[in-house]
């Protein structure tokens, strides 16, 4: 990767800023998903797919990925500048989250030349949507026990079983699939293998699942003698657990290689402060109430703490006591905070917390209640908060396994 030319970087950043100012549509006329897990209608899907494609074509997604795979071949700093501009202008999320943040970095790291050539560009352009097939109806937190079977037959594997909570499963062209190739392995983890699997083939069926908000966003995926090509195997047979854990590190940002942009947006303290200024109690803005001020300060202090923890991760002497501590804690810290912040915001709306999305009297079109309900996607998905507690307790504090 070439040296950063500060002048070129500044020009690039200014262009990106102007581009997002020009191209972000503040009102597409319907509610956009806040996260990649909330894509519930074709209208939302089509819009976001086009948006990602447009951002990529303009050079503001994958700017630091290699040119031969559709990237911009620039230093990381350029993509960071583009992402910053995207955020500043409240650009919608990047749709193809699993492809961008899980599959892509994985292939760049350990994929074959053929894999990279075949998949990477389509990930960036949103031509090829990806999903993740890890969880099963009977094995969620206990992922290592996954039982979906993959049996080798010649140049193919025959897959049988079911995956569930598959985000964007109904739109996906490919899945990263964790399946059991050796049911007799002495350790449950050693029987698993990791595949890049096509979704639009005979024997693969997706059934949409309705979420607690009443919307759609994920599916149950059924495999019935589905034949997937053997060259989709990543790592050796039996190494699937290791590969899957690696993808989780990309997803949590503990390993680099992501193409930039963001796949989740959150309402922040500013939005909640603004809400507190607008909501009235006894003729006064809620914001004037000292009890509310106290609670708001708690949130602001915690939000700031999490931001500072990200910064402190880069200061080695300030992390030496438990070097992995901050990295392994960040998912728990941030997702639980968002959930509690949204929960608090709902209470600010007073009696109108009784309304929901769709009623004209709902405060801010009901986004707070919906945001609160959706916030559980992050405290459950990607390893629940309880599992995060176990991970931190065992791997950071050194406590015995439960």
Partner 1 sequence: MENLGRIGFSEEQADLLEVAESFCRERSPVERVRALIRDSLGHDPAVWQEMAELGWLGIAIPEAYGGVGLGLAEVVPVVEQMGRRLMAGPFVSTTLAGQALLAGGTEAQKAAWLPRLAEGMPATLALMEADGNWDLEAVTATAEGGATLSLSGQKLFVENAATAGLVIASVFHDGAPALVLIETEALPDGALRRETVIDETRRSFELTLDGISVPSSQLLDTGKARAALSHIHLAANLLATAEMTGCTQACIDYTIDYLNTRKQFGKLIGSYQALKHPSVDAYVTYEQARSHLYSAAHSFTEQGTGEVATRMAKTAADKALSFAADRAIQFHGGFGFTYDCDAHLYRRRAIWHASQHGDAAWHKRKLAQMLL
Ligand X SMILES: Cc1cc2nc3c(=O)[nH]c(=O)nc-3n(C[C@H](O)[C@H](O)[C@H](O)COP(=O)(O)OP(=O)(O)OC[C@H]3O[C@@H](n4cnc5c(N)ncnc54)[C@H](O)[C@@H]3O)c2cc1C
Cβ atoms of residues 174 and 197 within 8 Å: yes
Give the nearest distance from C-beta 88 to partner 1 in angstroms. Answer: 13
Number of neighbouring beta carbons within 10 Å of residue 309? 17
Q: Which is nearer to ligand X, 313 or 384 (CB)?
A: 384
1 binds, among partner 1, ligand X, none (CB under 5 to 8 A by kind): none
Contact segment (CB under 6 A) with ligand X among 165-173, 188-196, 245-253, 273-281 equals 165-173
386: contact with partner 1 by CB under 8 A: yes
* 367/34 Cα distance (integer angstroms): 10
Identify the residue whose tokens are 């009235």: 280
23: contact with ligand X by CB under 6 A: no
390: contact with ligand X by CB under 6 A: yes
Nearest to 265 by CA among 27, 26, 34, 33: 34
Give the nearest distance from C-beta 140 to partner 1 in angstroms. Answer: 17
- The token pair at 373 is 């309900």
**202 exposed, middle or buried (CB, 10 Å; 0-12, 13-18, 19+)?**
exposed
Q: Build a one-symbol-per-residue string for 26-65: x at contacts with ligand X by CB under 6 A, - elsewhere.
A: -----------x----------------------------
167: contact with ligand X by CB under 6 A: yes
226: contact with partner 1 by CB under 8 A: no
Give the nearest distance from C-beta 388 to ligand X in angstroms. Answer: 9
248: contact with ligand X by CB under 6 A: no
Handedness of CA 94, 96, 102, 105 (dihedral sign): negative
Contact segment (CB under 8 A) with partner 1 among 63-71, 314-322, 346-354, 372-380 equals 314-322
332 binds, among ligand X, partner 1, none (CB under 5 to 8 A by kind): partner 1
Identify the residue whose tokens are 């760049």: 108
Among 56, 150, 377, 392, binds ligand X (CB under 6 A): 377
Give the nearest distance from C-beta 385 to ligand X in angstroms. Answer: 7
Among 4, 185, 245, 308, binds partner 1 (CB under 8 A): 308
Among 44, 52, 103, 132, binds ligand X (CB under 6 A): 132
142 DSSP assignment: -
Give the nearest distance from C-beta 192 to partner 1 in angstroms. Answer: 25
Handedness of CA 63, 66, 67, 71 (dihedral sign): negative
- Burial per residue of 77-90, b for 16 or more beta-carbon CB atoms within 10 angstroms, e otherwise: bbbebbbebbeebe
* Widest Cα–Cα separation across the chain: 75
Rg (CA), the chain: 22
* 299/339 Cα distance (integer angstroms): 11
Give the nearest distance from C-beta 125 to ligand X in angstroms. Answer: 21
Q: Build a one-symbol-per-residue string for 258-297: x at contacts with partner 1 by CB under 8 A, - elsewhere.
A: -----------xx--x-------------x--x--xx-xx
* 58/40 Cα distance (integer angstroms): 27
* 381/141 Cα distance (integer angstroms): 10
Write out the DSSP string of 252-317: TTSS----SS-SB----HHHHHHHHHH-EETTEEGGG-HHHHHHHHHHHHHHHHHHHHHHHTT-GG
Q: Build a one-symbol-per-residue string for 82-121: x at contacts with ligand X by CB under 6 A, - elsewhere.
A: ----------------------------------------
Give the nearest distance from C-beta 287 to partner 1 in angstroms. Answer: 6
Contact segment (CB under 6 A) with ligand X among 23-31, 262-270, 345-353, 379-387 equals 379-387
- The token pair at 150 is 């993959």
218: contact with ligand X by CB under 6 A: yes
Q: Which is nearer to partner 1, 16 or 337 (CB)?
A: 337
Contact segment (CB under 6 A) with ligand X among 125-133, 252-260, 282-290, 298-306 equals 125-133
301: contact with partner 1 by CB under 8 A: yes
Write out the DSSP string of 51-101: HHHHHHHHT-SSTTS-GGGT-----HHHHHHHHHHHHHTTPPPPS-HHIII
396 binds, among ligand X, partner 1, none (CB under 5 to 8 A by kind): partner 1
* 160/178 Cα distance (integer angstroms): 12
Q: Give the footprint of partner 1 on this chain (CB under 8 A).
A: 269-270, 273, 287, 290, 293-294, 296-298, 300-302, 304-306, 308-309, 311-312, 315, 317-318, 321, 325-326, 329, 332-333, 386, 389-390, 392-393, 396-402
């Amino acid at each position: 990767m070439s040296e950063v030319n500060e002048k070129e970087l500044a020009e690039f950043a200014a262009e990106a800023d102007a581009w997002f100012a020009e191209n972000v549509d503040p009102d597409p006329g319907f509610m956009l998903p806040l996260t990649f897990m909330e894509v519930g209608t074709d209208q939302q899907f089509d819009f976001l797919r086009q948006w990602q494609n447009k951002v990529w074509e303009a050079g503001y997604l994958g700017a630091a990925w290699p040119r031969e795979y559709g990237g911009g071949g620039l230093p990381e700093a350029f993509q960071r500048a583009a992402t910053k501009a995207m955020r500043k202008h409240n650009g919608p999320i990047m749709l193809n989250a699993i492809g961008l943040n899980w599959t892509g970095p994985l292939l760049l790291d350990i994929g074959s030349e053929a894999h990279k050539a075949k998949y990477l560009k389509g990930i960036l352009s949103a031509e090829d949507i990806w999903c993740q097939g890890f969880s099963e109806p009977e094995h969620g937190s206990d992922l290592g026990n996954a039982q979906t079977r993959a049996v080798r037959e010649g140049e193919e594997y025959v897959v049988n079983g079911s995956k569930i909570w598959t985000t964007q499963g109904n739109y996906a062209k490919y899945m990263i699939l964790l399946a059991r190739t050796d049911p007799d392995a002495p350790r449950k983890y050693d029987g698993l293998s990791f595949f890049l699997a096509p979704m639009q083939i005979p024997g693969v069926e997706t059934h949409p699942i309705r979420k607690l908000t009443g919307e759609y966003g994920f599916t149950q995926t059924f495999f019935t003698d589905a034949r997937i090509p053997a060259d989709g195997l990543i790592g050796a047979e039996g190494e699937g657990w290791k590969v899957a854990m690696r993808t989780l590190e990309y997803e949590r940002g503990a390993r680099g290689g992501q193409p930039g942009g963001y796949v989740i947006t959150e309402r922040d303290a500013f939005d909640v402060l603004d809400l507190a200024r607008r909501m009235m109690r006894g003729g006064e803005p809620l914001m004037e109430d000292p009890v509310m001020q106290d609670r708001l300060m708690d949130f602001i202090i915690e939000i700031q703490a999490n931001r500072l923890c990200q910064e402190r991760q880069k200061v080695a002497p300030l992390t030496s006591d438990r070097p992995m501590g901050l990295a392994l804690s960040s998912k728990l810290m941030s997702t639980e905070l968002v959930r509690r912040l949204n929960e608090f915001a709902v209470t600010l709306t007073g009696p109108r917390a009784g309304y929901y999305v769709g009623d004209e009297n709902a405060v801010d079109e009901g986004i707070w209640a919906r945001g609160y309900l959706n916030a559980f996607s992050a405290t459950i998905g990607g390893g629940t908060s309880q599992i995060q507690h176990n991970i931190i307790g065992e791997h950071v504090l050194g406590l015995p396994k439960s």
